[in-house]
Amino acid sequence: MNCQAVVLGGSAGALRALEAILPALPEGFAPPVLLVQHLHPRDDGAFARRLAGMTRLRVVEPCDKARIAPGHLYVAPANYHMLVEKGGTIGLSVDDKVNWSRPAIDLLFESAAQAWGVDLVAVILSGASADGAKGLRAVRAAGGRTIAQDPRTAESPFMPQAAIQTGAVDEVLSVADIARRLIAIGAGGARNTRGKK
């Protein structure tokens, strides 16, 4: 498949998974990566700064209307939903919480599915809520590829289990295998990150 973008979602325990996945992505990994991690409301960018120390991707906590570019990791800021907008920009929203969370994984995944369709890869990591399950179904319905962390390897298995129970997960993988799969999928690069809405 031609991978135009990767979306990741996680909560409790996802940092440990990211510590295995992000350092493995090689220099030149072209598809932009957009991440929603459930953060403490008072996070001041510390989480994004921590990720920046473990990846070759350029880590950005985006502003509203930031243009999505290859080779970047976009981390949703605390207290803001992060969505993909028509034309390949990021939208930030302070709308009501979804699944008791803001940012919410479902909103990122659903908007990304509309933007990239079959060229999107969505990954659900460790977490303690069902956030992301609905969004993963939207990615699958749009023809994208869906991956869940193997719950047996997750610090908090509820989130990947909820995703798997939807029947919309293509692959259930360990974090090491998720990294290998992303490298293989992304090997073709991202020809165009402009959304297709």
Neighbours of 92 (CB within 10 A): 17
Helix ranges (H only) for the chain are 14-21, 46-52, 105-116, 133-141, 158-165, 175-186
- 95 to 47, 76, 80, 132: CA distances (angstroms): 22, 14, 8, 17
CA 163 to chain centre: 14
Q: Which of 72, 81, 106, 131 is catalytic?
A: 131
Is-cis flag, bond preceding 77, omega within 30? no
116 phi, psi to nearest 5 deg = -115, -15
Determine if residue 78 is left, alpha or beta; phi over 0 gives left, psi from -120 to 50 gives alpha, anything else beta. beta
Residue 111 designated active-site: no
Count Cβ neighbours within 10 Å for each residue of 127-140 and write b for 16 or more, e otherwise: bbbbbbbbbbbbbb
Residue 131 designated active-site: yes
Residue 11 designated active-site: yes
**Residues noted as catalytic:** 11, 38, 131
